[in-house]
A and B are shown apart, each in its own frame.
Chain A
Amino acid sequence: MKNYNLKFKTFSFLIVIFSFSFLIFPLVVRGATLYLLPQSQTIYKNDTFLVEVRLDTEGEEINAVEVSLTFPPNLLEVFDLGKGGSVLDLWVKEPSIIDNKASFIGGIPGGFKGDGLIGKITFWGKEIGKTEINFGEDSKVLSNDGKGTPALLSFSKGNYSIIEKPEGLPEVSSQSHPDQNKWSKSNNLHLHWDLVEGAEYSYLLSKDPLAKSDEIPDKPEGELVWMGDMEYKGLDEGIYYFTLKQKLLGEDWSEPISYRAMIDVTPPEEFTLEIGQELTIFEGKYFLSFATIDKISGIDHYEVRDGKGDWKIAESPYLLKDQSLKSKILVRAVDKAGNEKIGEIIPHEKPFPYLMVILIGLAITVMVIWWLRKNISPKD
Chain B
Amino acid sequence: MRLENKFWILLLGIIFIAIPFFVLGLVCTQNADCLSGQVCRNNICSIEKGISVTLIVPGEVTPPPGGGGGGTIWPITTVIFEGKAYPEAFITFLRNKTVIGTAKADLKGDFSKTFTGMPVGVWEFGIFAEDNEGRKSVTISFSTSIISGIIMKISGIFISPTISLSAENVIRGEGLDILGQAYPKSDIEVSVFSLSPILQKIKSTEKGKWQFSLDTRSLELGIYKTQARARTIDGEESYFSEELVFKIIDGCRGADLNFDGKVNIVDFSILLYFWGQKNPTNICADINSNGIVDIVDFSIMMYWWR
A residues engaging B (CB < 8 A)?
63-64, 66, 90, 92-93, 105, 107-111, 140, 142-148, 272, 274-281, 283-284, 287, 289-291, 316-317, 372, 375-377, 380
Tell me whether B265 and A290 are in contact (CB under 8 A).
Answer: yes
Tell me whether A63 and B303 are in contact (CB under 8 A).
Answer: yes
In the complex, chain B residues 1-22 whose Cβ is within 8 Å of any chain A Cβ: 1-3, 6
Tell me whether B258 and A64 are in contact (CB under 8 A).
Answer: no
In the complex, chain B residues 110-141 whose Cβ is within 8 Å of any chain A Cβ: none
Query: Which chain B positions have C-beta within 8 A of A316?
Result: 265, 269, 272
Apart from A148-B299, A148-B300, A375-B6, 7 more pairs, CB < 8 Å:
A64-B295, A107-B302, A142-B295, A144-B303, A146-B303, A277-B258, A279-B223
Compute the total of residue contacts between A and B using a CB distance below 8 Å.
Answer: 110
Query: Which chain B positions have C-beta within 8 A of A372?
Result: 3
Q: Which chain A residue shows the least CB distance to B296?
A: A148
Q: In whole angstroms, what is the CA distance A108 to B264 when docked?
A: 12
Given the known interface contacts A90-B268, A107-B302, the answer about A280 and B295 at a Cβ–Cβ threshold of 8 Å is no
**B side interface size, CB within 8 A:** 37
Q: In whole angstroms, what is the CA distance A281 to B267 when docked?
A: 11
Tell me whether B303 and A278 are in contact (CB under 8 A).
Answer: no
**Is B305 interfacial (CB-CB < 8 Å)?**
yes
Q: Which chain B residue shows the least CB distance to A143?
A: B299
Tell me whether A144 and B169 are in contact (CB under 8 A).
Answer: no
Q: Which chain B residue shows the least CB distance to A105?
A: B295
Tell me whether A92 and B298 are in contact (CB under 8 A).
Answer: yes
**Contact with A284, one of B245, B301, B303 (Cβ below 8 angstroms):** B245
Q: Which chain B residue shows the least CB distance to A91?
A: B272
Give A279 Cβ to nearest chain B Cβ, in Å: 5
**Is B52 interfacial (CB-CB < 8 Å)?**
no
Q: In whole angstroms, what is the CA distance A290 to B265 when docked?
A: 7
By secondary structure, the B interface counts as helix
Q: Which chain A residue shows the least CB distance to B255?
A: A146
**Is B143 interfacial (CB-CB < 8 Å)?**
no
Tell me whether A142 and B275 are in contact (CB under 8 A).
Answer: no
**Is B247 interfacial (CB-CB < 8 Å)?**
yes
Give A172 Cβ to nearest chain B Cβ, in Å: 43
**Contact with A144, one of B247, B258, B270, B299 (Cβ below 8 angstroms):** B299
Q: Which chain A residue shows the least CB distance to B300?
A: A148
Query: Which chain A positions have C-beta within 8 A of B266?
Result: 274-276, 278, 289
> Can you spell out 9 A-B residue pairs with CB atoms less than 8 angstroms apart?
A93-B275, A147-B299, A274-B266, A276-B266, A279-B169, A291-B265, A375-B1, A375-B2, A375-B3
**Is B257 interfacial (CB-CB < 8 Å)?**
yes
State the 3 A-B residue pairs at the shortest beta-carbon distance, nearest first: A109-B305, A276-B266, A148-B296
Query: Which chain B positions have C-beta within 8 A of A143?
Result: 299
Tell me whether B265 and A289 are in contact (CB under 8 A).
Answer: yes
Query: Which chain A positions have C-beta within 8 A of B3?
Result: 372, 375-376, 380
Give A285 Cβ to nearest chain B Cβ, in Å: 11
Query: Which chain B positions have C-beta within 8 A of A144?
Result: 299, 302-303
Tell me whether B297 and A148 are in contact (CB under 8 A).
Answer: yes
Q: Which chain B residue shows the least CB distance to A316?
A: B269
Give B159 Cβ to nearest chain A Cβ, in Å: 22
Tell me whether B295 and A92 are in contact (CB under 8 A).
Answer: yes
Tell me whether B272 and A108 are in contact (CB under 8 A).
Answer: no
Tell me whether A148 and B265 are in contact (CB under 8 A).
Answer: no
Q: In whole angstroms, what is the CA distance A275 to B247 when docked?
A: 20
Query: Which chain A positions have C-beta within 8 A of B281?
Result: 280
Given the known interface contacts A280-B168, A280-B270, A287-B269, the answer about A63 and B299 at a Cβ–Cβ threshold of 8 Å is yes
In the complex, chain B residues 139-195 whose Cβ is within 8 Å of any chain A Cβ: 168-169
Give B5 Cβ to nearest chain A Cβ, in Å: 10
Query: Which chain B positions have C-beta within 8 A of A287?
Result: 269
Q: In whole angstroms, what is the CA distance A375 to B272 when docked?
A: 67
Given the known interface contacts A276-B269, A289-B268, A290-B265, the answer about A110 and B302 at a Cβ–Cβ threshold of 8 Å is yes
